[in-house]
Amino acid sequence: MDNSKRNFLKQTVAIGLTLPLAKIAFAAENVDEKSPQASALGYVSNTKNADNSKYPKHQASQQCSGCVLYQGKAGDKSGPCPLFQGKLVSANGWCGSFVAKA
């Protein structure tokens, strides 16, 4: 097999492996507030709805986008959080594990 055919084959295989991963990334769903895990962590998709009686240290200015665990980019509406593997948390969300970015 000559080099051009070999390169074409490599690129085709690389694209074939990359596309399913991209599809998985786009398929991530938002965290369901009513799921047992979200309830256990006090997660809400809007920080305004946090249960202040249960989480008295919660402040309205705290939200996922300002949490050290938030992995979304600035300006994203949602992003990954390691506490919710394979799901997305709202940038405006909040949970009881909130830790402010330094």
Output b/e per residue, 56-91; b: 16+ Cβ within 10 A. eebeeebbbbebebbebeeeeebbbbebbeebbbbb
Among 44, 58, 78, 81, binds ligand SF4 (CB under 6 A): 81
Q: Does 88 bind ligand SF4 (CB under 6 A)?
A: no
Residues 10-69 that bind ligand SF4 (CB under 6 A): 43, 64, 67, 69
DSSP 8-state class, residue 44: B
Which span (1-9, 16-24, 50-58, 93-101) binds ligand SF4, by CB under 6 A? Answer: 93-101
